[in-house]
Amino acid sequence: MAVFNHPEHRLVSPQQYIAAASAAESFKPLVLMPYLPGPEFSVDILADKGEILAAVGRRKEGVIQYLVNEGSAWELACDCARVMKADGLVNVQTRNDVNGNPVLLETNMRPSGGVGYTLHSGVNLPGLFAAFKLGLMSEDMVRQSAKNTFSPVAVRSITDVIAYPESLSNLLN
């Protein structure tokens, strides 16, 4: 069972799994899925009752995210949002199978934690959402803005932690 407890050993044949589960003294239920080598795509979408107004995909490859507004993963994500009648800022995640075809991982009817990355493409999805909901932009204006301002770009994630000296404070007195 060690292979299931270590993320670096994720590829397991059905025969290995059955043998390991049969030999184990106890068994904790697991969710199993086919091996999907990737890359992973996270598509942030602004939708109005299933109508796609704007969408920016992020292809994740290590610490680099490539922002796109086309391709099979992007299309699958938009199709999922349409079918689910998504409304507002939502996120759909896919990962490519061994043949390079996107497979749906999850649909989140809420914004993703990475929605801010989309601004680097020139498309400010949260800003477009606010302007649309406030009646400052029509559906057509949102679509046109997203189309005209998008530019493909690569973004590097930085997740450093900065330790501040205890002498610094955020107090305003």
Rounded CA separation 171/124 (Å): 32
Is residue 170 pLDDT above 70, yes or no?
no
Same domain (yes/no): 87, 118: yes
Question: pLDDT tens-digit profile of 79-107?
Answer: 999 999 999 999 999 999 999 999 999 99
Number of domains into which the chain is organized: 2
Same domain (yes/no): 14, 99: no
Mean pLDDT, the chain, whole residue set: 90
Same domain (yes/no): 22, 87: no
| One-letter identity of residue 162 | I
Same domain (yes/no): 73, 94: yes
Same domain (yes/no): 22, 1: yes
Domain residue limits at 135: 40-156
Same domain (yes/no): 25, 44: no
Name the pairing type of β-strands 40-48 and 88-96: antiparallel
DSSP string, the chain: -HHHH-TT-----HHHHHHHHHH-SS-------------EEEEEEEEETTEEEEEEEEEEETTEEEEES-SHHHHHHHHHHHHTT--EEEEEEEEE-TTS-EEEEEEESS--TTGGGGGGGT--HHHHHHHHHTTSS-HHHHHHHHHHH---EEEE------PPPTT------
- Please report whether residue 135 resides in a domain: yes
Q: What is the CB-side half-sphere exposure of residue 106 using CA atoms within 13 A? A: 9
Same domain (yes/no): 83, 143: yes
Same domain (yes/no): 26, 53: no
- Please report whether residue 3 resides in a domain: yes
Same domain (yes/no): 4, 44: no
Question: pLDDT tens-digit profile of 8-57?
Answer: 556 778 898 889 888 988 888 878 788 899 999 999 999 999 999 999 99
- Please report whether residue 165 resides in a domain: no
- Please report whether residue 53 resides in a domain: yes
User: For residue 161, what pLDDT band results from cuts at 50, 70 and 90?
Assistant: low
Same domain (yes/no): 22, 68: no
Q: Within the chain, what is the greatest distance between any pair of CA atoms?
A: 66
- Please report whether residue 172 resides in a domain: no
Same domain (yes/no): 78, 121: yes
Rounded CA separation 92/81 (Å): 8
Same domain (yes/no): 95, 146: yes
Residue whose tokens read 């204006």: 141
- Please report whether residue 16 resides in a domain: yes
Bond from prior residue into 37 cis (ω within 30 degrees of 0): no
